[in-house]
Structure 1
């Protein structure tokens, strides 16, 4: 079982539009409504893969009730923590050329009692979890050290932790030794405080995060592929992708693919890339099912192309 923790979940509305013209009336060609938040997306991808998952998340108001209903309809066990504020609603506009514009609401502010209830819910539901995936931004009210406290408590209980967050929350949690962290290129550059121009730059940055406490780093480099840097070695993987429809949740699908494949080594990296590649070819934040995966298009190598210039360098 994979337990996910989403401190700042959302109700996500995605509209497909021909083009985004400011000041004009735009008629959508398609629309979706999905439960959102990075941990929620990981649970959705795990469920789509046919594995059991439990989603721990604070929910409030009518949007929160709808998120719970949508998750339940997808076969996901929900462990809600009731909060006074309403769950946030986000909007994504997906253009025909693959460009995505997102409007993310701030979400409710959690009280000290609500924060502790969230930690307690994780403790109660984590006894039979193979992995705990802690994902996304922290809502108002939570200190940057909240994830660090969660990692420390979970490790004391013998659980393995995958962490997907950024900024001060990521840096604070590194000292507690999360089993794997999953930054994208921008988050990786922000963590080490310097630009990334090549795959080799990304490898060095990942190694620095390991030096700060992360046991493994699964780094997404966008269209260029993904890196896995761990005690067991360094691997690079990429996949050929057809038409990109939406990258919403693609990184979360990758993390789910990594965890359902065991969460370590080149085999898990290949699964991560296959899931991410499938996700970007689906509308909105639809999570890939096994039939959507094309593992034959994935290449994994320990001969990392360190001199390759990133398609989208991070300044």
Structure 2
């Protein structure tokens, strides 16, 4: 079982439009309403792959109730922590070429009691968890060290932790030695404070995060593939994508693919890449099922191509 923690979940509305024009009235071709939040998406991808998952998250107001209901229809167990504020709603607008414009609401501010209740919910439901996946930004009211405290408590209970966050909350959590962190290229660049122009730059940055405490780094490099750096060395893998329909939740699908195959080594990396490639070809934040995956299309390189330039370098 994979337990996910999403401190700032959402209801996500996704509209597909023929083009985005500022100040114009747009007609949406399709509309989707999905459960949102990075940890929520990991749970959805784990469930779509046929594995058991439990989502721990704060829930408030009608939006929170709707979110819990949507997760239930996808076969996801929910451990909701009642909060006084309203669960946020986000809006994504997708153009035909896959360009995504997203508006994220701030979400509710959690009180100290609600913060502790969230940590306690993780503890009380994690006995059967192979992994705890902690994902996304922290809501107002939670200090940057909140994830570090969660990682420390999980390790004392003997549970492995995957962390997908950025900024001060990532930096603070590294000291607690999470078992794997999953930055994208921009987050990786931000964490080390320098630009990334090549796969080799990303490799050096991932190694630096390991020196700061991460036991493994799974870095998403967008269209260029994914990089895994751990105690055994470094692995790199790619997969072709014929068309990008929406990249919402693609990184979360990748993390789910990585964890469901054990969260270690080249096989887990290949699963992560296959899940990410499938996710970007689906509408909205729809998560891939086994029938969407093409594992044979994934190429795992014998050595990391350090001189390969990134398609979208991070300045």
- TM-score normalized by the length of structure 1: 1.00
In structure 2, distance between residues paired with 1:208 and 1:302: 22
In structure 1, distance between residues paired with 2:303 and 2:259: 23
Shift of 1:132: 0.2
Match of 2:226 in 1: 226
SS of structure 1 residue aligned to 2:269: helix
Match of 1:142 in 2: 142
Match of 1:247 in 2: 247
Match of 2:152 in 1: 152
Match of 1:67 in 2: 67
In structure 1, distance between residues paired with 2:149 and 2:90: 28
Match of 1:83 in 2: 83
In structure 1, distance between residues paired with 2:122 and 2:287: 24
In structure 2, distance between residues paired with 1:153 and 1:82: 22
Match of 2:281 in 1: 281
SS of structure 1 residue aligned to 2:304: coil
**Equivalences for 1:177-188 in 2 at 5 Å?**
177-188=177-188
Match of 2:168 in 1: 168
Could you give the per-residue CA deviations for residues 114-170 of structure 1, whole angstroms, max 9, x where no partner exists? 000000000000001000000000000000000000000000000000000000000
Shift of 1:88: 0.2
SS of structure 2 residue aligned to 1:218: strand
In structure 2, distance between residues paired with 1:123 and 1:24: 49
Shift of 1:97: 1.0
SS of structure 1 residue aligned to 2:16: strand
Match of 1:215 in 2: 215
Match of 1:93 in 2: 93
Could you give the per-residue CA deviations for residues 247-266 of structure 1, whole angstroms, max 9, x where no partner exists? 00000000000000100000
- TM-score normalized by the length of structure 2: 1.00
Match of 2:126 in 1: 126
Is 1:234–1:302's contact at 8 Å kept on the other side of the alignment?
no
SS of structure 1 residue aligned to 2:92: strand
Shift of 1:292: 0.1
SS of structure 1 residue aligned to 2:158: coil
Could you give the per-residue CA deviations for residues 67-121 of structure 1, whole angstroms, max 9, x where no partner exists? 0000000000000000000000000000011100000000000000000000000
In structure 1, distance between residues paired with 2:133 and 2:97: 32
CA RMSD of aligned residues (A): 0.4
In structure 2, distance between residues paired with 1:119 and 1:51: 24
Match of 1:271 in 2: 271
In structure 2, distance between residues paired with 1:120 and 1:235: 36
Alignment partner of 1:198 is 2:188: no
Is 1:246–1:282's contact at 8 Å kept on the other side of the alignment?
yes
Shift of 1:302: 3.3
Shift of 1:301: 1.6
In structure 1, distance between residues paired with 2:241 and 2:261: 21
**Runs (5+) with no aligned partner, structure 1:** none
Shift of 1:22: 1.0
Shift of 1:30: 0.5
Is 1:14–1:94's contact at 8 Å kept on the other side of the alignment?
yes
In structure 1, distance between residues paired with 2:74 and 2:188: 32
Could you give the per-residue CA deviations for residues 26-75 of structure 1, whole angstroms, max 9, x where no partner exists? 10000100010000000000000000000000000000000000000000
In structure 2, distance between residues paired with 1:286 and 1:180: 24
